[in-house]
Structure 1
Amino acid sequence: MAAKFSDTETSPRPVLGILLRLAAMAILSLMFALVKLAGERGIHLTESLFYRQLAGLPVAIAWLWWTGALASIRTTRPLQHGIRMVLGASAMALNFSAMLLLPMAEATTFGFAAQIFATILAALLLGEPTGRYRWGAVALGFVGVLIALQPGGEAIPLQGAAVALVGALVTAGVIIQLRRMAQTEPAGAIVFWFSLTSLVPLGIAVLLFGKNHDAESWAILAGLSLAGAVAQILLTASLRHASVAAIMTMDYSALLWSAFIGFAVFGEIPSYSIWLGAPLIIGAGLIIAWREQYLARKRAMEAAEYPFG
């Protein structure tokens, strides 16, 4: 019989949660490397996206069954799921494209700007109060982006950098949409409907752009699909054993994996500007996360002290 857990249940094993998150980052980096290999073999981007999502759907269903949360997929907000699908599929396409256009370390670094963009969008669209700490972090992050772009120096491909930054912006849009949906929709419904609905436009695109491949190309597609599915499980499992605040810093280990795999597989050597700009971008993200955690704790304490308002 399936084990029964709620969407929010966690086990007090933060070390395990951190290890799972680190493993997820390593496997995601492997997935992106396979995306680059697929591109080098002439596999269309839409094929990589389609098979990534196709592998993720049964994983989502199996996870919901295992956790006893299949009933949570019922929804009365199809429009919100449609918006999430458009944003999520667009973000995936842009982030995959960035990996094809840039060295892995550079693409990963620009992707970290999503948290910075999310802070701006939260202030503009959700009306979230944003004080000097978070605005200061936003400024710090943009300085890091400028350094990584190295204007006037050894040029990073402009098209690739633009795609990566737009991808980070759309990813920030996904973060904002998820915040909205989390108020009414359980996590299981969000994951399931994104996995299912994204296959519709991607399936149409594959019919238009897909083609037959040799055995090695199919193996690459299978590998990136499997890596994406395993990473999805690990990301979800990590949240069951540790808080978001405890594991978020582990996400930045992706830069080290990307730099290592990029060098080992593609002979890419990250430019000095990436190693100068990345710490500023990462630092900005950590400041934003720390501030949000601090304010959430403060609100919880105030609510406990004044339970009747």
Structure 2
Amino acid sequence: MTTAAPDRILAAIGLRLLSVVLFAMMNVVIKLSEQHRAALGEILFFRQVGASLLISSIVLSGPGWRSVGTKRIGTHISRAILGLTAMAFSFTTIVTLPLAEATTLGFTVPIFATILAALALRETTGWHRWGAVIAGFAGVLIVAQPGSAHFPLWGAATGLLGAFGTAAVSILLRQITRTETALTTVFWFSTLSLVPLSVVYTFVARPHPVEVWLLLAVVGLIGGLAQLAMTSALGLGPVSVVVPMDYSSLLWATVFGWLVFGTLPNAALWIGAPVIVASGLYILWRERVRHVIRTLEEVQ
């Protein structure tokens, strides 16, 4: 059993933290774009255009087009459909809710991934992880406060649907990454998603002042850089070390929400968010324990 070198782990953590900051900045620009009357379809289109141009430039300047060749185009199409749907729900949540609340709902991804792994992959899931799932949803109820006027129910629904879609993508990626590189996966997702988004864009495109076009361009640029940093981090360090860094996004969402939009989370979020984060971290820890046990059994 081999372990990653310390310098690679530090680089992985650094890249993941960088991706967290970049995604938080992207969310701010998404919200500003919507406030300046950019349609959701426009924001999604420019997000993927930026990522596609960035990845394509990396491919052209380095390994070349052959490096992203694939024999699993059908699987990449499925990934693009799932990923694009999840992104649409997540972006809707960002423009509907305050940044901290929208970010916290995204922390339910490990919870949904546990459920999907048990149902779709028939993975054995013990009471430890099921207990974490129940605790995580209790945290969601604390944050969302259903039946109150805390924040729009539609925003909570799209946030959870976005997290569910992201979890489904993570399950699919377990299959894809057995034969495909991270660069290939990101390239096909960015490129294939532009097909339906181009159609959507023709219907929702509208004239904008120069500053709005700049905001949309920044969404694409920052989004592409964040996606590249996130993917690269997973190539350098184990998931159990890298993914927990994502929870630092709540700090940035709170800071940016206050500085840019003048909003601060209420008491319910400070109570519910730690419950959701703890459940996600516990699920990741149990996954790490199970991986170590399986590895030891294989060695013996």
Q: 1:82-231 maps to which residues of 2 (within 5 A)?
A: 82-231=77-226
Whether 2:28 is the aligned partner of 1:33: answer yes
Match of 2:13 in 1: 18
Residue 133 to residue 172, structure 1, CA distance change in 2 (3 Å)? same
| 1:170 Cα deviation from its structure 2 partner | 1.2
1:81 to 57, 62, 76: 76
Match of 2:260 in 1: 265
| 1:235 Cα deviation from its structure 2 partner | 1.4
Structure 1 CA distance, aligned partners of 2:112 and 2:237?
25
| 1:213 Cα deviation from its structure 2 partner | 1.1
1:256 to 251, 260, 271: 251
CA contact (8 A) 2:93 2:155 kept: yes
Structure 2 CA distance, aligned partners of 1:235 and 1:67?
19
- Provide, for residues 10-57 of structure 1, a one-character-per-residue CA deviation record: whole Å limited to 9, x for no partner: 884322321221121111111011000000011011111111111111
Q: 1:44-59 maps to which residues of 2 (within 5 A)?
A: 44-59=39-54
Structure 1 CA distance, aligned partners of 2:282 and 2:65?
36
CA contact (8 A) 1:10 1:241 kept: no
Whether 2:298 is the aligned partner of 1:291: answer no
Match of 1:235 in 2: 230
CA contact (8 A) 1:17 1:247 kept: yes
2:239 to 236, 244, 251: 244
Aligned amino acid, residue 111 of structure 2: I
Deviating more after overlay: 177-186 vs 195-204: 177-186
Aligned amino acid, residue 278 of structure 2: G
Match of 1:6 in 2: none
TM-score by length of 1: 0.91
| 1:70 Cα deviation from its structure 2 partner | 4.5
| 1:189 Cα deviation from its structure 2 partner | 2.4
Structure 2 CA distance, aligned partners of 1:203 and 1:154?
37
Residue 276 to residue 285, structure 1, CA distance change in 2 (3 Å)? same
Tell me the percent identity: 42
| 1:102 Cα deviation from its structure 2 partner | 0.4
Aligned amino acid, residue 105 of structure 1: A
- Provide, for residues 138-158 of structure 1, a one-character-per-residue CA deviation record: whole Å limited to 9, x for no partner: 011011111111235552211
| 1:300 Cα deviation from its structure 2 partner | 1.0
CA contact (8 A) 1:11 1:242 kept: no
CA contact (8 A) 1:69 1:188 kept: no
Residue 241 to residue 79, structure 1, CA distance change in 2 (3 Å)? closer
Structure 2 CA distance, aligned partners of 1:153 and 1:205?
35
| 1:104 Cα deviation from its structure 2 partner | 0.5
| 1:82 Cα deviation from its structure 2 partner | 1.2
Measured on the aligned residues, the alpha-carbon RMSD in Å equals 1.8
- Provide, for residues 90-128 of structure 1, a one-character-per-residue CA deviation record: whole Å limited to 9, x for no partner: 111110010011000000001111110111011001101
Structure 2 CA distance, aligned partners of 1:166 and 1:186?
27
| 1:177 Cα deviation from its structure 2 partner | 1.4
Any unmatched runs of 5+ in structure 2? none
Structure 1 CA distance, aligned partners of 2:83 and 2:135?
27
- Provide, for residues 155-184 of structure 1, a one-character-per-residue CA deviation record: whole Å limited to 9, x for no partner: 221111111111111111111111222233
2:297 to 256, 281, 302: 302
Residue 279 to residue 202, structure 1, CA distance change in 2 (3 Å)? same
| 1:277 Cα deviation from its structure 2 partner | 0.7
Aligned amino acid, residue 119 of structure 1: T
Any unmatched runs of 5+ in structure 1? 1-8
TM-score by length of 2: 0.93
CA contact (8 A) 1:29 1:257 kept: yes
